[in-house]
Amino acid sequence: KAGVTQTPRYLIKTRGQQVTLSCSPISGHRSVSWYQQTPGQGLQFLFEYFSETQRNKGNFPGRFSGRQFSNSRSEMNVSTLELGDSALYLCASSYGQGNTEAFFGQGTRLTVV
Amino acid sequence: KQEVTQIPAALSVPEGENLVLNCSFTDSAIYNLQWFRQDPGKGLTSLLLIQSSQREQTSGRLNASLDKSSGRSTLYIAASQPGDSATYLCAVVWSPGGTSYGKLTFGQGTILTVHP
């Protein structure tokens, strides 16, 4: 059974640009959630999608957005990048109801210069 | 405010020692608690999931316990090995009204070093 796949693994962007990250969940999982990990703040919740609907949202500015497609794949977009957006972005998938054990991808390392 | 705290922040032990990592949470109305391991620069690997109705879970040399009334969970690692060196994170899903599915709140982690 394939795990959670995140692409790309590494990205370097310039301030002011936008970026799109992709996450393919484990087959059969309908929930995808996104997290930002930085040395100073640790792991912080961005948002969660379940069956194409955003079910939960963390305390991040509107520059951070996401969506989920009918095949449960999810994308996260960050517009007008800032230096402080440099982080490891992780996505997790789960069944989303009942059994909510979360499985994580390897992450996308975003560096903003 | 719902928060998760892990103590200690770092732990260094000799190989073969049994050890305990601690996790505390501020609100006992949890849905489940999950322990993860993270190697440097990598994603998180799920170790154990404890549902709110359970008291403990075991997998190999790992045993996790849950005490909701005191807001605590412990991860017990038996006969530690150098390969156990990693950051260990606990995360809670709260369930006020069942709307917190999929939202994990993490502690800051415990950096474990097991030296030969």
The C-alpha atoms of residue A72 and residue A61 are separated, in whole angstroms, by: 24
Which phi and psi angles does B83 have, rounded to 5°? -65, -10
Question: Which residues, in sequence order, are CB contacts of B66 under 8 Å at separation 6+?
Answer: B33, B50, B52, B54, B55, B56, B72, B73
pLDDT of residue A1: 65
The answer to whether A100 contacts B32, with C-beta atoms less than 8 Å apart, is: yes
Q: What is the pLDDT of residues B21-64, one digit of tens each?
A: 999 999 888 889 999 999 998 999 999 999 999 999 999 999 99
Determine contact, residues B112/B22, Cβ cutoff 8 Å: no
Q: Which of B31, B53, B93, B101 to mutate to test binding with chain A, by most A CBs within 10 Å of its CB?
A: B101
pLDDT of residue B28: 86
The answer to whether B93 contacts A100, with C-beta atoms less than 8 Å apart, is: yes
From A35, which residue of chain B is nearest by alpha-carbon distance?
B104
Residue A33, number of CB atoms within 10 A of its CB:
29
pLDDT of residue A56: 87
Q: How many CA atoms lie within 13 A of B49 on its CB side?
A: 14
The answer to whether A102 contacts B106, with C-beta atoms less than 8 Å apart, is: no
Q: pLDDT tens digits for chain A (113 residues)?
A: 689 999 999 999 999 999 999 999 999 999 999 999 999 899 999 999 999 999 889 999 999 999 999 999 999 999 999 999 999 999 999 987 766 799 999 999 999 99
The one-letter amino acid code at A86 reads S
